[in-house]
């Protein structure tokens, strides 16, 4: 019996309004993360590490940065018909954009028809996690389901933040209900304090997915969303299964990070996910050599930590510093620094995320803040210290006190 042919679809058209101003000039999957990665790198790395070699990335919103990153970074050999291709909205069904994630697949059915796969893996492009999709695909085939939803266990009190999956008492792999952000969830039989939350990753029989999106496309009352419309359709027909992430064993993972998954759709979750990277025993370990997270290999010198011009020493504690960056006589703590950033003498940077080529000049202070690409904080200036001042200067300050400075802005003293 021949092995199943598998095709990967990455849904990367997300606008990411809740991450503004980081998404003012780029699609959400193109937002930098963890120093020199982009959010889309995690989905693509998982698919590649899982053995998928034919993958399309469906883009739409402000996609130039994302398209460029995919084309420059994710090149596979065409000799064996292996590829990762960025595919914008093609308007094959009329002069309109994607109206939802299911509509994105509907408008891209030509890609599926060209490859004629048996199985289609559909994943989001803006979550941080590791997952071996080959194990999920095998579980899907063994189950006989037409659709399988990846799920992660979450505390029942957080159920109203997720799409929640209810399963049969006699078969915990069979979905009986799919509830969007329920206020009165039912806990799991083996863990009443937990629910199964959808991870936004799916495995489908190709013919079943094609049929589902075609039928959905004819509905006038549909939001044309994978989680909101397509999965409930399979559940209603009794052909949907669930794959608990606890069944997934990623090579090189540890008990501390084996079931890590973050939806970084808000500034708070984006900030907290960075904090998960930097401890000595990180909650999410970027240094797993058996399941690497791939990204663009920068032609850059190593990071450098030096005394300042007066010979004063700096300190760097619990931080990630990317290639090309120079820390000169400054204090850096619990922070993630992107490529080619500069932090000057006497500066203090604590609980911060600095994107590419951010500059913190002498004696400036940055605390609990996110600075986009090319931001300059002038000598003696502050960010995140005085929230009223930050707001007066037009910066975003979240309810939890995270200050966000948009691309290319100059912060004066």
Joined tokens for residue 39: 């959010």
Alpha helices in 183-266 (DSSP H): 206-217, 231-236
Mean pLDDT throughout 312-340?
95
Per cent of the chain over pLDDT 90 is 72
pLDDT tens digits, residue range 77-134? 666 788 999 988 776 666 676 778 899 999 999 999 999 999 999 999 989 999 999 9
Mean pLDDT throughout 388-399?
96
Check pLDDT > 60 for residue 141.
yes
Mean pLDDT throughout 328-350?
97
Has 94 been labeled as part of a binding site?
A: no
Angle formed at CA 18 by CA 14 and CA 22, multiple of 5 degrees: 80
- Compute CA distances 352 → 310, 368, 371, 413, whole Å: 26, 5, 8, 19
Q: Is 66 helix (H, G, I), strand (E, B) or coil?
A: helix
**Burial zone of 258 (CB within 10 Å; 0-12 exposed, 13-18 middle, 19+ buried):** middle
Has 157 been labeled as part of a binding site?
A: no
Q: How many CB atoms lie within 10 A of CB 249?
A: 9
pLDDT score of 78: 66
pLDDT score of 44: 97
Has 108 been labeled as part of a binding site?
A: no
- Compute CA distances 374 → 32, 189, 209, 360, whole Å: 13, 51, 43, 10
CA separation for the pair 139, 120 (Å, rounded):
14
Angle formed at CA 59 by CA 57 and CA 63, multiple of 5 degrees: 120
**Half-sphere exposure at residue 236, Cβ-oriented, CA atoms within 13 angstroms:** 7
pLDDT score of 291: 96
Strand duo 163-168 + 54-59: pairing: unpaired
**Burial zone of 220 (CB within 10 Å; 0-12 exposed, 13-18 middle, 19+ buried):** exposed
Q: What mean pLDDT is reported for the chain? A: 92
> Which of 116-130, 166-180, 190-204, 378-392 comes out lowest in average pLDDT?
166-180
> Which of 58-72, 191-205, 229-243, 373-387 comes out lowest in average pLDDT?
58-72
Check pLDDT > 70 for residue 76.
yes
φ and ψ at residue 25, rounded to 5 degrees: -125, 10
Question: pLDDT grade, residue 259 (50/70/90)?
Answer: very high
CA separation for the pair 275, 319 (Å, rounded):
9
Helix (H) or strand (E) holding 180: strand 171-180
Spell out the domains of the chain, with CATH numbers in brackets: 6-275 (3.90.550.10), 304-411 (2.160.10.10)
CA separation for the pair 35, 29 (Å, rounded):
15
Helix (H) or strand (E) holding 48: helix 40-49
Mean pLDDT throughout 13-22?
84
- Compute CA distances 223 → 5, 265, 403, whole Å: 30, 20, 34
Cis, peptide link before residue 229, omega less than 30° from 0: no
> Which of 35-49, 92-106, 281-295, 382-396 comes out lowest in average pLDDT?
92-106
Q: Is 6 helix (H, G, I), strand (E, B) or coil?
A: strand
pLDDT score of 2: 58
pLDDT tens digits, residue range 154-189? 999 999 989 999 998 888 899 999 998 898 888 988
pLDDT tens digits, residue range 63-73? 888 889 888 88
**Half-sphere exposure at residue 180, Cβ-oriented, CA atoms within 13 angstroms:** 8
CA separation for the pair 209, 216 (Å, rounded):
10
- Phi-psi bin for 334: left (phi > 0), alpha (psi -120 to 50), beta? left
Has 181 been labeled as part of a binding site?
A: yes
pLDDT score of 93: 65
> Which of 67-81, 290-304, 328-342 comes out lowest in average pLDDT?
67-81
Task: Please give the span between the terminal C-alpha atoms of the chain, in angstroms, as a whole number.
Answer: 70
pLDDT score of 1: 36
Helix (H) or strand (E) holding 127: strand 127-129
Mean pLDDT throughout 292-304?
91
Helix (H) or strand (E) holding 410: strand 410-411
pLDDT tens digits, residue range 340-364? 999 999 999 999 999 999 999 999 9
CA separation for the pair 167, 175 (Å, rounded):
5
Per the CB < 8 A criterion, the answer to whether 310 and 327 are in contact is: no
Mean pLDDT throughout 372-387?
97
């Amino acid at each position: 019996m021949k092995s199943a042919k598998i095709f990967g679809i990455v849904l990367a058209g997300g606008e990411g309004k809740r991450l503004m101003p980081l998404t003012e000039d780029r699609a959400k999957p193109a937002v930098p993360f963890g120093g020199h990665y982009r959010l889309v790198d995690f989905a693509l790395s998982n698919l590649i590490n899982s053995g998928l070699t034919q993958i399309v990335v469906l883009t739409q919103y402000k996609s130039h940065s994302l398209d460029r990153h995919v084309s420059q970074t994710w090149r596979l050999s065409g000799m064996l018909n292996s590829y990762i291709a960025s595919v914008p909205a093609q308007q094959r069904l009329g002069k309109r954009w994607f109206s939802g994630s299911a509509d994105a697949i509907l408008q891209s059915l030509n890609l599926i028809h060209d490859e004629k796969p048996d199985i289609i893996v559909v994943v989001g492009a803006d979550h941080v996690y590791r997952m071996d999709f080959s194990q999920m695909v095998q579980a899907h085939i063994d189950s006989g389901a037409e659709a399988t939803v990846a799920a992660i266990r979450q505390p029942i009190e957080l159920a109203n933040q997720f799409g929640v999956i209810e399963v049969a008492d006699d078969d915990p792999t069979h979905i009986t209900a799919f509830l969007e952000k329920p206020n009165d969830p039912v806990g799991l039989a083996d863990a009443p304090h937990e629910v199964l939350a959808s991870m936004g990753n799916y495995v489908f029989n190709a013919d079943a997915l094609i049929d589902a999106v075609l039928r959905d496309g004819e509905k006038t009352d549909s939001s044309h969303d994978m989680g909101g419309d397509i999965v409930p359709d399979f559940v209603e027909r009794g052909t949907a299964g669930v794959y608990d992430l606890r069944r997934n064993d990623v090579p090189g993972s540890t008990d501390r990070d084996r079931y890590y998954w973050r939806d970084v759709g808000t500034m708070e979750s984006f900030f907290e996910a960075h904090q998960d990277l930097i401890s000595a025993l990180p909650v999410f370990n970027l240094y797993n050599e058996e399941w690497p997270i791939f990204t663009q290999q920068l032609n850059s010198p190593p990071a450098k930590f030096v005394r300042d011009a007066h010979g004063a020493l700096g300190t760097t504690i619990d931080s990630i510093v990317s290639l090309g960056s120079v820390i000169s006589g400054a204090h850096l703590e619990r922070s993630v620094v992107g490529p080619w950033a500069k932090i000057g003498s006497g500066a203090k940077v604590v609980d911060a995320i600095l994107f590419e080529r951010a500059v913190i000049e002498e004696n400036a202070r940055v605390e609990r803040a996110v600075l986009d690409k090319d931001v300059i904080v002038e000598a003696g200036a502050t960010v995140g210290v005085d929230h009223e001042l930050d707001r007066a200067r037009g910066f975003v300050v979240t309810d939890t006190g995270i200050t966000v400075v948009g691309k290319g802005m100059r912060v004066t003293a």
